[in-house]
Amino acid sequence: MPRRQFLLAIVLTCAFCFLLGAVFQSQSPPNPITRDIIATAGKLIGLDFSDAKRDSMRDGLKDQLESYTKIRKVHLSNDVPPSISFNPIPNGMKIDSTRKPFRTSPVGAVALPANIEDVAFYSVGQLAELLKTRKLTSLQLTRMYLNRLKKYGPRLECVITLTEELALAQAKRADEEIAAGKYRGVLHGIPYGAKDLLSTKGIKTTWGSVPFKEQLFDEDATVIKRLEEAGAVLVAKLSMGELAWGDVWFGGTTKNPWNLKQGSSGSSAGSASATSAGLVGFAIGTETWGSIVSPSTRCGVTGLRPTYGRVSRKGAMALSWSMDKIGPICRTVEDCAIVFNTIEGPDGYDQTLYDLPFNYEPDIVLKEFRIGYLKNDFDSVKENKANDDSSLAVLTSLGARLVPLRLPDFPTNDLSIILSAEAGAAFDDLTRSGKDDLLVRQIKDAWPNTFRLSRFIPAVEYLQANRIRYLVIQEMQKLLQGVDLYVAPSFQGDNLLLTNLTGHPCVVLPNGFSKEGTPTSITFIGKLFDEGRLLAVAKKYQDATGYHLRHPRLPD
């Protein structure tokens, strides 16, 4: 080929390649991620990159955005957990695996009053004695509680769904079985209510929320199944703060039976209110950050928040996979032990559960116990300080050796981004679909805004917070080595959030009344998986004080 033709061919080829590249370039969408966008985003997470670094990040961030879009096309229902699990057990902790028979304190002879409504505030143990001795039938007891739910439920706004048909069928079966000598145990024939985030087959499970108020599931939650197997009678799905925050739900604000002008607190709002008002024999609640402790305090009842990994969450609304816990709300500590003994343990579904014994022995001697107390928190309490100080005095009078403690010093409140990030993921679709606008509370400090804010929590910071959480767990193990358990003012300082993050169990119970006449509480915190001793000690305190025997008077 002549040199001139050769050069012309090269020029034409280059021109063609240039034009071809221009065509492809024109078909590729421009990168929407600019250096200015990266700079602004960096300010949201406290990072400042140079222009050169921002330029280098553009293509990678565009790719990540495209990956997010593809991930979001995969449907994830609320019951799908992340494939990472939280482990609350510190290094070197040894857990007793010895199992002992479950036994409760003797109830003694229980007389049936002339007016059946007088048993509305009886303990589970007392009700069980009446049923077992056939002085009272489950149908009679169930109808009494159903009537009270119909009478007072609307005033307290504590009931979402009455399960009357199911309850009467379960009560009838309980009576037939008891009459035939097939007694299942202490909960056989006892009516109860469940927080409306536990699924019930064929009965609405609303999560207290407008977008889900017609929601139906085709299977009972594990906790509901276990209570049915024990012969308990489900009379109501009880109100909860919308998506487990506060006491406001799509039907109103759940009331405190001691003061109808006051909300019951939440998020186990209806469970605490109904138990306090004598509308159920006991109730089931849940806690992520105070949702058993807070309403139990407000309503003057006793609540158990078990160790993380004790009670199956299958069939329960997920809010925070590494913090959610299910527990009983009752009138007495021993009632909590009875219900917990029924609902705890592995179910083959919830992979976070531990197969460990629950050994409850009420016949303890407090002189043998070293009980810690958070001295700084007791000293700094302002409201109802006399009640908290009196709690320590009672424990001392019972022979307990009190040991001052101080919680490990970490930025505990800042670790709440763990809950926010997980909650944002649990309700990701609600945010992206815009259905968060349907939620009742639309203020800054409510779920819709919190879910949106969670989108700006970097994955790195979420993991860093969990690494600090690991350190907190190790330090709590050291703290508890010198005591059997400890007590704390229920809401002072970091204790409530810190122990929810570490997974420690607690019992909250009444310790007096405010000057306005509403209940106050004290909290006992136990070692991991040591609910047995925790409940036994709390029972000794409760028996010595008797505040749980006072009940609110509801207007007719």
Tokens 């024999």 sit on residue:
281
- What integer is the mean pLDDT of 63-76? 93
Tell me how far the alpha carbon of residue 529 is from its chain's centroid. 17
Reported confidence tier of residue 180, pLDDT bands at 50, 70, 90: very high
SS3 162: strand
Residue 143 CB partners (closer than 8 Å, separation 6+): 168
Is a pLDDT exceeding 80 seen at residue 89?
yes
- What integer is the mean pLDDT of 225-242? 98
Tell me how far the alpha carbon of residue 405 is from its chain's centroid. 26
- What are the tokens at 154? 């609307």
How many whole angstroms separate alpha carbon 329 and alpha carbon 336? 7
Among this protein's residues, is 291 annotated catalytic? yes
State pLDDT tens for residues 429-458: 999 999 999 999 999 999 999 999 999 999
Is a pLDDT exceeding 70 seen at residue 20?
no
| Total number of residues shown for the chain | 556
Reported confidence tier of residue 29, pLDDT bands at 50, 70, 90: confident
How many whole angstroms separate alpha carbon 250 and alpha carbon 138? 32
Residue 283 CB partners (closer than 8 Å, separation 6+): 192, 193, 194, 195, 238, 268, 270, 271, 272, 274, 275, 328, 329, 330
Tell me how far the alpha carbon of residue 52 is from its chain's centroid. 47
Residue 14 has a CB neighbour count (10 Å cut-off) of 10
- What are the tokens at 476? 């709590």
How many whole angstroms separate alpha carbon 41 and alpha carbon 34? 11
SS3 145: helix
Is a pLDDT exceeding 60 seen at residue 184?
yes
**pLDDT, greater one: 524 or 8:** 524
Q: What CA–CA distances, in Å, run from 5 to 15, 17, 95? A: 15, 18, 88
- What are the tokens at 477? 């193990």
- What integer is the mean pLDDT of 353-359? 98
How many whole angstroms separate alpha carbon 143 and alpha carbon 121? 15
- What integer is the mean pLDDT of 89-107? 95
What does pLDDT average to over the chain?
Answer: 94
> What's the CA angle centered on 200, arms 194 and 202, to 5 degrees?
140
Tell me how far the alpha carbon of residue 163 is from its chain's centroid. 23
Is a pLDDT exceeding 60 seen at residue 277?
yes
Q: What is the pTM of this model?
A: 0.93
Contact present, 158 and 274 (Cβ < 8 Å): yes
Question: What is the model's pLDDT at position 16?
Answer: 36
Question: What is the model's pLDDT at position 24?
Answer: 36
Catalytic residue among 291, 294, 296, 454: 291
Amino acid identity at 123: S
Question: What is the model's pLDDT at position 515?
Answer: 96
Question: What is the model's pLDDT at position 13?
Answer: 35
Burial class of residue 200, CB neighbours in 10 A (0-12, 13-18, 19+): buried
Question: What is the model's pLDDT at position 19?
Answer: 35
- What integer is the mean pLDDT of 176-183? 98
Phi first, then psi: give them for residue 417, nearest 5 degrees.
Answer: -65, -20
Among 487, 479, 481, which residue's Cα sits nearest to residue 366? 487
Among 213, 175, 207, which residue's Cα sits nearest to residue 191? 175
- What integer is the mean pLDDT of 17-35? 60
Question: What is the model's pLDDT at position 23?
Answer: 37
Catalytic residue among 195, 204, 314, 527: 195
Contact present, 199 and 212 (Cβ < 8 Å): no
Contact present, 310 and 529 (Cβ < 8 Å): yes
Reported confidence tier of residue 28, pLDDT bands at 50, 70, 90: low
How many whole angstroms separate alpha carbon 165 and alpha carbon 151? 18
Among this protein's residues, is 267 annotated catalytic? yes
Catalytic residue among 138, 209, 267, 420: 267
How many whole angstroms separate alpha carbon 233 and alpha carbon 191? 4
3-state helix, strand, coil in the chain (%, to 5): 45, 15, 40
State pLDDT tens for residues 474-521: 999 999 999 999 999 999 999 999 999 999 999 999 999 999 999 999
Cis before 514 (ω within 30):
no
State pLDDT tens for residues 206-224: 999 999 999 999 999 999 9
**DSSP per position, 488-530:** EETTSTTHHHHHHHHT--EEEEEEEE-TTS-EEEEEEEE-TT-
State pLDDT tens for residues 372-409: 999 999 999 999 999 999 999 999 999 999 999 999 99
Reported confidence tier of residue 17, pLDDT bands at 50, 70, 90: very low
Alpha helices in 374-458 (DSSP H): 375-380, 385-397, 417-426, 428-433, 447-454
Question: What is the model's pLDDT at position 474?
Answer: 98
Reported confidence tier of residue 555, pLDDT bands at 50, 70, 90: confident
Strand partners, 248: 253
- What are the tokens at 117? 């409504």
Reported confidence tier of residue 15, pLDDT bands at 50, 70, 90: very low
Question: What is the model's pLDDT at position 408?
Answer: 97
Q: Where are the domains of the chain?
A: 116-411+451-549
- What are the tokens at 211? 């977008």
Question: What is the model's pLDDT at position 27?
Answer: 55
- What integer is the mean pLDDT of 516-527? 98
State pLDDT tens for residues 362-377: 999 999 999 999 999 9
Architecture of the CATH domain 116-411+451-549: Alpha-Beta Complex (3.90)
